[in-house]
Structures are given as structure tokens and as C-alpha cells.
């Protein structure tokens, strides 16, 4: 088993493709058959497996979620960190903070058009941490 904390710098809202970094960790683990789990250690970002070929699909997802969870909603009382803070928490609650991906023959079992993404829900630049665990089947 291998556990790695992967730091991902972000410059604002959007989907950041981390597939190549996860693949590199899997390669370094030497695990052939098993499971990769990812967990984002933040309450205002999430993880997702999504379309990796057409950037328009990711833009549409971002636009749709921003419309679903708008900033400056008068119902929000948690707003000390800015107008994007509470919406970011809601977006993270509606999406996933962890993923599990099978490994076969030393490779992530993703579909042809699937990639692994960190979905940043805040506007400003920051570093995010994702715990990547590579576990071998016995």
C-alpha cells in the first residue's frame, strides 16, 4: 500500500485535470491489481471523474453548478470569508470529496473519455491537498 499527499495549486474556480499525476503515483507504487482512492482534504473543493476531451463539457458543468448555487444568496449566514465561501461548501456537499478507481494490469480502469479532476469551488489561488492511496488486492 502507498499513501501520498498530493498538493495541487489552483488559480480559481474550475476543473483541474489531475489524471497524469494520479497515474504517476500508481506507476511509482508498483501495484498491479488493486484500488486507488482519492480524498480531497477541504470543504470547498471536490473530486470528479468526467469528460477529458471536450473542455466545453467542463465549462458547461461549471456554469450549471454556479447557476444552481449562486453567490450572495440572502439565505447564507456563513460569509466571513467572502461571497464564494458558502456556495463553495454547498457545491462540495453536492459533489464528491472521495473517489475509488480500480487498477488492472497496473493501470487506472478509466473509460476512453474519462479523466480525474479536482473541482475548485473558490475564486482565489490556493494549494489543495488530495490524499491518494494505492492498495493492492490480495
Encode the chain (138 residues) as per-residue pLDDT tens digits.
Answer: 999 999 999 999 999 999 999 999 999 999 999 999 999 999 999 999 999 999 999 999 999 999 999 999 999 999 889 999 999 999 999 999 999 999 999 999 999 999 999 999 999 999 999 999 999 997
Give per-residue burial for 7-19: e unless 16+ CB within 10 Å, then b: ebebeebebbebe
pTM of structure: 0.95
> Nearest CA to 130 among 87, 101, 94, 110?
101
Rounded to whole angstroms, the Cα distance separating 132 from 98 reads 10
CA gyration radius for the chain? Answer: 16
Find how far residue 33's CA is from the centre of its chain: 23
Q: Which CATH number fits domain 18-136: 1.10.760.10, 3.30.310.50, 2.60.120.460, 2.60.120.10?
A: 2.60.120.460
Q: Where along the chain do its domains lie?
A: 18-136
Amino acid at each position: 500500500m502507498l499513501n501520498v499527499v498530493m498538493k495541487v495549486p489552483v488559480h480559481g474556480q474550475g476543473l483541474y485535470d489531475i489524471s497524469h499525476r494520479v497515474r504517476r503515483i500508481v506507476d511509482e507504487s508498483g501495484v498491479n491489481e488493486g484500488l486507488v482512492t482519492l480524498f480531497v482534504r477541504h470543504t470547498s473543493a471536490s473530486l470528479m471523474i468526467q469528460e477529458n476531451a471536450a473542455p466545453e463539457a467542463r465549462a458547461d458543468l461549471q456554469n450549471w453548478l454556479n447557476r444552481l448555487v449562486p453567490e450572495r444568496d440572502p439565505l447564507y449566514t456563513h460569509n466571513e470569508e467572502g461571497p464564494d465561501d458558502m456556495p463553495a461548501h454547498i457545491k462540495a456537499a453536492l459533489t464528491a470529496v472521495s473517489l475509488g478507481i480500480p487498477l488492472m494490469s497496473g493501470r487506472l480502469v478509466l473509460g476512453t473519455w474519462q479523466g480525474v479532476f479536482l473541482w475548485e469551488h473558490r475564486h482565489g489561488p490556493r494549494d489543495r491537498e488530495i490524499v491518494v492511496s494505492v492498495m493492492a488486492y490480495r
